[in-house]
């Protein structure tokens, strides 16, 4: 995820041409070793951001012709032919970092050397070159064998064994640390986008709700109209009913009068008739009733026996 920070010390050192050549080789080889052994990019958890000149030095492999544009340059050497990203404000988007480090053979030697020498020397070229260089340095005693050599060999064996055994797991652990960070950041981003979209939807929903405010006032106006209408009708009805009640009252009053008059007359007639029956008339009527009854009894008896 992050780029390795270049040691700024290197930019200030001054060497002559050949020393610079070897030094550049060593520098890039050392970085290849780091990358090749762990099998993944080095992950310094906290690093400072790098400028583009650092980035260039990562991607360029060693060759005599490529030296001019790579490696640590002295402060005084400015390549007029190549315009590098020297100004701090460059608009070109920075290309993403490669996932894997440069390919190496036997863990140390960059693959590009083999590819570079293949057209001229075939497959065995670099091996011959390596053997030759080694023998040259040994025989001419440019490299002297002393006890340091043995120490270096032992340490080298231990280091190689260690990285081969524990390299992948350490790399996985370091990668996991980074993955967690990225996942956390991604989660934050997802949460933020989700909440923002939801907020936008809520706002639009509220706007839609607001549009319905007219119905409330329509309802109120309707209520008012209905109340007025009800009131009016009630009054009309009341008036009619009252008038009708009064007229009906008059009629029923008249009827009552008529009835009372009739009953009173009938009673009076009855009373007067009863009063007018004198005692003499009463005796005569009773005697007549008795004779009539006797006659009736005789006729019924006669009928019964016959």
| Residue 160 lies near another protein (rule: CB under 8 A) | no
Longest dimension (CA), the chain: 196
Cβ distance to another protein smaller for residue 7 or 193: 193
- Of the residues 66, 196, 266, 296, which one makes contact with another protein according to CB under 8 A: 196
CB contact at 8 A, 40 and 175: yes
Q: Which residue has the tokens 């029923």?
A: 252
Footprint (CB under 8 A) of another protein, residues 19-48? 46-48
The residue whose two tokens read 């991604």 is: 186
For position 18 contacting another protein by CB under 8 A, the verdict is no
Q: Between 47 and 137, name the residue whose CB sits nearer to another protein.
A: 47
Q: Binding of another protein at residue 1 (CB under 8 A)? A: yes
Shortest distance in whole angstroms from residue 4 CB to another protein: 12
Selected binder of another protein within 231, 262, 285, 300 (CB under 8 A): 231
Please name the residue that has the structure tokens 């050397």: 113
Partners of 288 in beta bridges: none
Site string for another protein, 113-152 (x = CB under 8 A): ----------------------------------------
Residues 148-170, buried b or exposed e (16+ Cβ, 10 A)? eeeeeeeeeeeeeeebeeebeee
Rule CB under 8 A: choose which of 68, 105, 235, 271 binds another protein: 235
Q: Which of 247, 260, 266, 277 binds another protein (CB under 8 A)?
A: 247
Q: Select from 69, 38, 68, 45 the least CA-distant residue to 55.
A: 69
The least CB distance from residue 72 to another protein, in Å, is: 22
> Which residue, 48 or 276, is less far from another protein as judged by CB?
48
Torsion angle (degrees, nearest 10) of CA 172, 175, 181, 184: -60
Provide the sign of the torsion angle of the four alpha carbons 198, 201, 207, 209, taken in this order: negative
User: Is 189 one of the binding residues for another protein (CB under 8 A)?
Assistant: yes
d(Cα 3, Cα 50) in Å, to the nearest integer? Answer: 7
Task: Tally the C-alpha atoms within 13 A of residue 114's C-alpha that lie toward its C-beta.
Answer: 11
Q: Should residue 282 be labelled a site residue for another protein when binding is judged by CB under 8 A?
A: no
- What residues make contact with another protein under the rule CB under 8 A? 1-3, 46-50, 94, 96-97, 182, 185-186, 189, 192-193, 196-197, 199-200, 203-204, 206-237, 239-241, 243-244, 246-247, 250-251, 254
């Amino acid at each position: 995820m992050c780029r390795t920070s270049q040691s700024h010390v290197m930019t200030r050192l001054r060497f002559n041409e050949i020393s610079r050549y070897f030094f550049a080789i060593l520098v890039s080889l050392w970085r290849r070793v780091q990358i090749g052994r762990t099998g993944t990019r080095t992950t310094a958890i906290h690093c400072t951001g790098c400028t583009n000149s650092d980035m260039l030095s990562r991607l360029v492999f060693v060759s005599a012709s490529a030296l001019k544009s790579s490696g640590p340059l002295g402060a005084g050497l400015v390549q007029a032919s190549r315009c590098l990203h020297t100004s701090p404000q460059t608009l070109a988007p920075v290309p993403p970092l490669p996932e894997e480090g440069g390919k190496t053979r036997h863990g140390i030697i960059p693959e590009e050397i083999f590819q570079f020498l293949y057209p001229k020397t075939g497959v065995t070229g670099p091996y011959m070159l390596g053997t030759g260089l080694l023998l040259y340095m040994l025989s001419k005693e440019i490299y002297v064998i002393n006890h340091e050599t043995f120490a270096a060999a032992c340490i080298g064996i231990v280091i190689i064994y260690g990285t081969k055994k524990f390299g992948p797991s350490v790399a996985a652990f370091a990668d996991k640390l980074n993955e967690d960070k990225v996942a956390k950041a991604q989660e934050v981003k997802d949460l933020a986008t989700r909440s923002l979209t939801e907020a936008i939807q809520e706002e639009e929903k509220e706007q839609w709700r607001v549009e319905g405010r007219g119905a409330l006032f329509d309802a109120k106006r309707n209520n008012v109209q209905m109340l007025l209408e009800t009131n009016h009708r009630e009054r009309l009805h009341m008036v009619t009913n009252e008038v009708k009640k009064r007229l009906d009252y008059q009629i029923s009053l008249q009827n009552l009068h008529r009835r009372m008059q009739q009953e009173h007359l009938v009673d009076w007639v009855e009373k007067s008739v009863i009063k007018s029956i004198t005692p003499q008339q009463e005796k005569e009527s009773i005697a007549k009733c008795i004779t009539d009854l006797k006659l009736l009894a005789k006729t019924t008896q006669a009928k019964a026996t016959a």
